[in-house]
Amino acid sequence: MVSNSQKHQLYQPLTDPIMLSHQDIDVESFIERTVALEQTAASHGMPWRTTIGNTDKTDPLLYMPFWEWQMEFMTKSLTNLRPDNSAMNRFGFRENKEKRARIVSHCYTSNEYRKIRMTYYDAGDNTQVFNSVFYPREEYNLPILGIDLLAFNRKKYLAIVDFQPIHDDESSHAIQYEHRLKPIKESYKSLSGKMSSRFYDETKFFSKQMLFSRFEDEDIVSKELFPAFKRYVSLHSKLIRETKPETNSATQAFVLDRQREYDTYSAERDPATGLFTAMFGQEWSESFVFDFLFSLSERKKATPADTNIVASVKP
């Protein structure tokens, strides 16, 4: 059930007559989209308030505030935001009651973004994961926004937030952006770590201003990671608003092809595949990775089904 405060947030743009009077919109369609967003936001009981797993914490769903803030931000800031029901009908929810783990995924599209996916994995204090990726529409030759936040046994934490370049040279994007990320990153010293090359090449699809950290102090989540996450998400949306849409079809096709390369590269190396396989079975997990998480990816002969994400946080 959606709370009254959530309903107010979702319907707030509709109830502002000044806003409506200055926009050329179909009010009936706007209402339908708003209702669809409300229903999607509440699907599978989201946002969850209790965990399916074991916990001795008062806040067992560590990254749920990130999910809620992002939903509110997208609803208020993006144009024509709407759910992709075809993706969610197939991959929206999965659980393993015996192992006390569950996963929920949402997928959205807007005038600014071709695809925004959000996934929350809950296994109590054992594992908490929030993952999200923002793919700009092909009219915008801009980096992909990637977010990956993990907690293991509420003792070890891994965080990655980045404007993931789709070109080797930053100047090949529509506008340069790393100089605007640098002061944000410098404000949060705990998020200035260096990623290992175990799963990924940090020079490919990662920027020099990536927020990266392995840490054991949970206070970093609220004091540094959360505000840094908000600033990166907000800036990415601002970059799109500042960028003139590309009308050349060949350039659009090239941008989409680079996003396809990103998806294929990421799907082949995603360390979460092992975790998903252990909890939800190999067939579903591989489809989830290749057909939902990285839906433009091209499958090759080998898949990383034997990779275990837990190993990635070990020193």
Kindly report, residue by residue over 186-195, the tens digit of the pLDDT. 999 999 998 7
Asked whether residue 301 carries a pLDDT value surpassing 70, the answer given is: no
pTM: 0.86
According to the model, what pLDDT value does residue 11 have? 35
- Are 174 and 243 in contact, with CB atoms under 8 Å apart? yes
Q: What is the 3-state secondary structure (H, E, C) of the chain?
A: CCCHHHHHHHHCCCCCHHHHHCCCCCHHHHHHHHHHHHHHHCHHHCCCCCCCCCCCCCCCCCCHHHHHHHHHHHHHHCCCCEECHHHHHHHCEEEECCCCEEEEEEEEECCCEEEEEEEEEEECECEEEEEEEEEECCCCCCCEEEEEEEEECCCEEEEEEEEECCCCCHHHCCCCCHHHHHHHHHCCHHHECCCCCCCCCCCCCCCCCCEEEEECCCHHHHHHHHHHHHHHHHHHHHHHHHCCCCCCHHHHHHHHHHHHHHHHHHHHHCCCHHHHHHHHCHHHHHHHHHHHHCCCCCCCCCCCCCCCHHHHHCC
Q: Which residues lie below 8 Å from residue 279, measured CB to CB, with a gap of 6+?
A: 96, 99, 101, 103, 123
Interval 92-142: pLDDT, tens: 999 999 999 999 999 999 999 999 999 999 999 999 999 999 999 999 999
For residues 194 and 301, which has the higher predicted lDDT (pLDDT)?
Answer: 194
What are the structural domains, with CATH classification, of the chain?
A: 49-313 (3.40.1500.20)
Interval 148-163: pLDDT, tens: 999 999 999 999 999 9
Q: What burial class does residue 54 get, using C-beta atoms within 10 Å of its C-beta: 0-12 exposed, 13-18 middle, 19+ buried?
A: exposed
According to the model, what pLDDT value does residue 295 have? 97
